[in-house]
């Protein structure tokens, strides 16, 4: 059927785009003008936009096709009991993800045409960006776990290529390495989880890695196996989505160009971990202990990252830690079993985080690639449009109603309390407050007050329309996206209801109650919701006022940092980088290097290479004694030898 | 009849004396003499065993050895005379000592 073909077309289109661009660039590589930026931009844009169109068409057809569209163009490999086709599946969940990826991907492609316009590696950037989009779509639309892993690895590789875009700079290249290596640790967990699942299911006769088939046999899972698989997959997810302790790569990955940070490290790649856990929700459902662990780590990460963000002076690093923190929120939702809520926050976050990153990119572009906020200040007068959209983004992430961030964050907090995880709730509430605080700190330091660097400020101007249009679209999205996930008190989440066939229904505390008891329970639940909403608004509002007071009224700058121990810990990123440097760099690599040098090289190899000739020399020295040249000695030795030979022969052969 | 072992015993003794002289003495002439003595000891052994075995091969070989010894002594002594003649006054005192003929250092 034609529609089914579209499913495979979605990841294929950007891939074709990347190949085309690559070939075009290579063919014209030695000519002075190469390929024109306009042509490259057009070809590059085709991939994501056409993919979006295809995704939209399929999405609109989902109501008629509730079970989704499946397409398996060819068999990837078949070994023994295992048959793995290259299978793609467009259902409600993957449809939502595909739309987010292609929509925001297209906007960022458009933005990049303006942002990267003066770069030498313009073509290369778009090749990698399209390649990335293709890999991400493979991941999202995968029906079988190896295909998902293919996309998983693909986005990791493209992240490496894109973060290391400025490969001439050693630090930036090392950041790319760090991203890839930490991701690799996660891949190890992922594969182990995959193997355990496959082995277990196989022992019950279900030899498949197709996610739908596995889901239908979910009843076979024991809590022990499910917990193991879930935790192992979470290791993979936490590397991809930068949770503690594998979060260290995201901040360094800001070394890549800003559109890369917006696309990969805000809206798409880092959400792959969440998507994985939601897709395999049947495993998580069978393992309540794993859910608690996931949520706890999510909450911890959210809090720690927020504390670090408060101390950062680089505008992109603030946003990076903010991403880590918000991902923690998403994991808290997923761990609590509220998968639709996690996806909801993923969606709203994609909008406002991409907006924030692209807006930051506009600022950086205006300030001639300066990223340090201590050199910003008072930019609202120079960049009014950027300031306006950034304000929208900051309000959204701070959780001010009626913008989208409020609804999604509130849903997450509500779910924590519902599950009885009160500590999680309080921690996340505090984190929300911190989020509002550091985001508005960033806003005020950049846009309010007086310009701190006259030279830079003088040349600051708004970017071209290609950069501003995506900002506008994302701003609108950040405002309205929340309407699909209203709390139950205000009508209920249409998103959650719509995703229910895939993600499962959230725990209904009102089930089994009727009549008056039902009315009372409903009233209590709704009033809880309003109460939590009030708490959230108070927390965020107070934080914003505090930030305003400190950075506008009191005019503090990044240089006015109070010197106390707590802030020092935050500024040191809680010592994670230092610990890893000690354990892994110094502890293992350098230790092994030292060991190899001392023991293997010096002791063994040099011992043999030097010792053997030395032995021969000493032996020769001993033998040299006989060479006196004295005839009498020779005569004597001859007689001696003859005598010995005579005795030997006598003993051997008898008289 | 004198038992053959007596002859062999004498032969051995003569040989050992010759050997001892060869190794222990410094004077060239004494060394030559010792060589002759060893050769003669071998001759004695040949002849005695020839008589014991009733075979004339041993006696024929003894002839060979005598001729050989003579030739070798002639050549050797001729060389010694030449050395002596070519040595100057100071060297003549030591010319007949075998220690003179080391290849490495004097």
What's the complex ipTM?
0.81
In this structure, the answer to whether residues A416 and A377 fall within a common structural domain is yes
Q: Which residue of A has its CA nearest to B25?
A: A632
Give the distance from residue B8's alpha carbon to the nearest chain A alpha carbon, in angstroms: 14
- Choose among A627, A632, A639: nearest Cβ to B98: A632
In this structure, the answer to whether residues A380 and A361 fall within a common structural domain is yes
B26 touching A, CB under 8 A? yes
Q: How far is CA A292 from CA A165, A190, A237, A287, A420, in A?
A: 38, 19, 15, 9, 11
Of the candidates A262, A317, A273, the one whose C-alpha atom is nearest the C-alpha of residue A297 is A273
In this structure, the answer to whether residues A566 and A592 fall within a common structural domain is no
Chain A interface with B: residues with Cβ < 8 Å: 627-632, 635-636, 639
- Choose among B19, B23, B105: nearest Cβ to A629: B105
Inter-chain residue contact A639 with B104, CB threshold 8 Å: no
Is residue A245 reached through a cis peptide bond, with omega within 30 degrees of 0 on the bond before it? yes
Task: List the domains of chain B with CATH numbers.
Answer: 4-100 (1.10.287.3510)
Residues 6 or more apart whose CB falls under 8 angstroms from that of A332 comprise A295, A298, A299, A302, A412, A415, A416, A424, A428
In this structure, the answer to whether residues A566 and A634 fall within a common structural domain is no
In this structure, the answer to whether residues A587 and A541 fall within a common structural domain is no
Query: For the segment B32-81, what is each residue's pLDDT rounded down to a tens digit?
Result: 999 999 999 999 999 999 999 999 999 999 999 999 999 999 999 999 88
Give the distance from residue A630's alpha carbon to the nearest chain B alpha carbon, in angstroms: 4
B101 touching A, CB under 8 A? yes
Task: Tell me A506's DSSP state.
Answer: P
Place of tokens 């240089």: A559
For residue B106, is pLDDT > 60? no
Q: Is residue A546 part of a domain?
A: yes
In this structure, the answer to whether residues A462 and A352 fall within a common structural domain is yes
**Residues with pLDDT less than 50, chain A:** none
In this structure, the answer to whether residues A499 and A463 fall within a common structural domain is yes
For residue B91, is pLDDT > 80? no
Separation of alpha carbons A68 and A587, rounded Å: 51
Residue A196: what pLDDT?
Answer: 93
Count: domains in chain A: 2
Residue A236: what pLDDT?
Answer: 93
Buried b (16+ CB within 10 A) or exposed e, A225-239: bbbbbbbbbbbbbbb
In this structure, the answer to whether residues A597 and A453 fall within a common structural domain is no
Inter-chain residue contact A627 with B104, CB threshold 8 Å: yes
Inter-chain residue contact A631 with B26, CB threshold 8 Å: no
In this structure, the answer to whether residues A487 and A432 fall within a common structural domain is yes
Separation of alpha carbons A109 and B40, rounded Å: 115
In this structure, the answer to whether residues A524 and A643 fall within a common structural domain is no
Residue A365 belongs to domain spanning: 346-506+516-571
A&B contacts, CB < 8 Å: 24
Give the distance from residue A654's alpha carbon to the nearest chain B alpha carbon, in angstroms: 18
Residue A420: what pLDDT?
Answer: 86
Q: Is residue A427 part of a domain?
A: yes
Q: Is residue A420 part of a domain?
A: yes
Q: Which two tokens stand for residue A433?
A: 């407050």
Residue A510: what pLDDT?
Answer: 62
Give the distance from residue A596's alpha carbon to the nearest chain B alpha carbon, in angstroms: 49
Place of tokens 């991701």: A183
Separation of alpha carbons A269 and A108, rounded Å: 14
Q: Which residue of A has its CA nearest to B19?
A: A639
In this structure, the answer to whether residues A463 and A581 fall within a common structural domain is no
Separation of alpha carbons B47 and B52, rounded Å: 9
Contacts of A624 in chain B (CB under 8 A): none
Q: Is residue A234 part of a domain?
A: no
B1 touching A, CB under 8 A? no
Last residue of a domain, one of A526, A556, A571: A571
Residue A29: what pLDDT?
Answer: 78
Q: Which residue of A has its CA nearest to B27?
A: A632
Q: Is residue A561 part of a domain?
A: yes
- Choose among A627, A629, A639: nearest Cβ to B19: A639
Q: Is residue A281 part of a domain?
A: no
In this structure, the answer to whether residues A520 and A608 fall within a common structural domain is no
Q: Is residue A66 part of a domain?
A: no
Q: Which residue of A has its CA nearest to B22?
A: A635
Q: Which two tokens stand for residue A561?
A: 């940092």
Last residue of a domain, one of A571, A589, A611: A571
Looking at every residue in chain B, the average pLDDT score rounds to: 89
Q: Which two tokens stand for residue A641?
A: 């030898």
Contacts of A631 in chain B (CB under 8 A): 98-99, 101-102
Q: How far is Cα of residue A559 from the mean position of the Cα atoms in its chain? A: 31
Q: Which two tokens stand for residue A488?
A: 């139950």
B90 touching A, CB under 8 A? no
Residue A101: what pLDDT?
Answer: 93
Q: Which residue of A has its CA nearest to B105?
A: A629
pTM flag (> 0.90): no
Q: Is residue A319 part of a domain?
A: no
B104 touching A, CB under 8 A? yes
Residue A142 phi, psi dihedral angles, 5° rounding: -70, 140
């Amino acid at each position: 059927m034609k529609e089914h073909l579209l499913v495979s077309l979605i990841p294929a289109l950007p891939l074709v785009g990347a190949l085309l661009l690559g070939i075009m660039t290579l063919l014209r590589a030695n000519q002075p003008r190469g390929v024109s930026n306009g042509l490259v931009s057009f070809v590059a844009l085709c991939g994501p936009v056409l993919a979006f169109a295809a995704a939209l068409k399929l999405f609109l057809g989902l109501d008629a096709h509730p079970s989704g569209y499946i397409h398996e163009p060819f068999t990837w490999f078949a070994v023994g009991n295992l048959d793995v086709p290259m299978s793609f599946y467009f259902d409600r969940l993957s449809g939502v993800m595909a739309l987010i990826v292609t929509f925001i991907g297209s906007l960022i492609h458009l933005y990049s045409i303006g942002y990267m316009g003066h770069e030498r590696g313009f073509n290369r950037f778009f090749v990698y960006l399209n390649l990335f989009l293709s890999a991400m779509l493979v991941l999202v639309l995968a029906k079988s776990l190896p295909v998902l892993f293919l996309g998983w690895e693909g986005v990791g590789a493209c992240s490496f290529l894109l973060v290391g875009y400025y490969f001439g700079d050693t630090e930036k290249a090392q950041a790319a390495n760090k991203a890839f290596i930490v991701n690799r640790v996660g891949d190890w967990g992922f594969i182990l989880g995959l193997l355990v699942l496959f082995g277990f299911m196989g022992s019950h006769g279900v030899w498949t890695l197709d996610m739908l088939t596995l889901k239908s046999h979910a009843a076979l899972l024991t809590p022990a196996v499910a917990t193991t698989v879930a935790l192992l997959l979470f290791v993979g997810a936490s590397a991809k989505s930068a949770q503690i302790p594998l979060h260290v790569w995201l901040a360094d990955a800001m070394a890549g160009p800003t559109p890369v940070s917006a696309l990969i490290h805000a809206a798409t790649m880092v959400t792959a971990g969440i998507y994985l856990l939601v897709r395999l929700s049947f495993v998580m459902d069978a393992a309540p202990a794993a859910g608690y662990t996931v949520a706890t780590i999510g909450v911890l990460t959210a809090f720690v990252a927020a504390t670090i963000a408060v101390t950062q002076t680089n505008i992109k690093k603030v946003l990076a830690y903010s991403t880590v923190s918000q991902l923690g929120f998403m994991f808290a939702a997923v761990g609590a079993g509220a998968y639709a809520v996690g996806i909801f926050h993923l969606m709203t976050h994609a909008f406002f985080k991409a907006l924030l990153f692209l807006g930051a990119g506009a600022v950086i572009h205006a300030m001639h690639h300066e990223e340090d906020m201590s050199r910003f200040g008072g930019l609202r007068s120079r960049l009014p449009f950027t300031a306006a959209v950034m304000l929208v983004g900051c309000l959204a992430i701070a959780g001010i109603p009626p913008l989208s961030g409020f609804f999604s964050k509130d849903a997450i907090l509500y779910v924590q309390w519902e599950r009885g995880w009160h500590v999680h709730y309080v921690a996340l509430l505090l984190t929300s407050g911190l989020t509002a605080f550091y985001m508005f700190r960033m806003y005020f330091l950049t846009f309010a007050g007086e310009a701190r660097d006259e030279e830079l400020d003088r040349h600051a101007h708004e970017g071209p329309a290609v950069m501003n249009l995506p900002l506008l679209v994302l701003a609108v999205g950040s405002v309205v996206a929340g309407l699909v996930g209203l709390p139950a008190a205000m009508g209920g989440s249409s998103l959650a209801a719509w995703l229910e066939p895939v993600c499962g229904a959230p725990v209904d505390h009102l089930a089994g109650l009727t009549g008056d008891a039902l009315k009372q329970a409903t009233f209590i639940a709704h009033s809880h919701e309003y109460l939590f909403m009030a708490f959230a608004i108070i927390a965020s509002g107070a934080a914003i006022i505090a930030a305003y007071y400190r950075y506008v009224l009191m005019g503090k700058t990044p240089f006015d940092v109070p010197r106390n121990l707590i802030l020092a810990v935050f500024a040191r990123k809680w010592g994670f980088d230092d610990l890893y440097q000690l354990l892994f760099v110094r502890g293992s690599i350098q230790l092994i290097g030292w060991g190899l040098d001392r023991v293997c090289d010096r002791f063994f190899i040099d011992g043999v290479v030097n010792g053997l000739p030395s032995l021969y020399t000493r032996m020769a020295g001993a033998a040299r004694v006989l060479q006196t040249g004295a005839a009498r000695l020779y005569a004597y030795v001859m007689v001696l030898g003859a005598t010995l030979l005579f005795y030997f022969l006598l003993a051997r052969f008898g008289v | 009849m004198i038992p053959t072992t007596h002859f062999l015993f004498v032969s051995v003794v003569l040989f050992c004396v010759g050997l001892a002289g060869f190794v222990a003495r410094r004077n060239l002439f004494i060394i030559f003499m010792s060589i002759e003595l060893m050769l003669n000891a071998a001759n004695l052994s040949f002849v005695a065993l020839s008589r014991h075995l009733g075979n004339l091969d041993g006696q024929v070989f003894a002839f060979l050895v005598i001729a050989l010894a003579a030739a070798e002594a002639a050549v050797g002594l001729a060389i010694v005379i030449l050395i002596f003649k070519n040595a100057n006054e100071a060297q003549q005192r030591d010319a007949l000592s075998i220690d003179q003929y080391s290849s490495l250092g004097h």
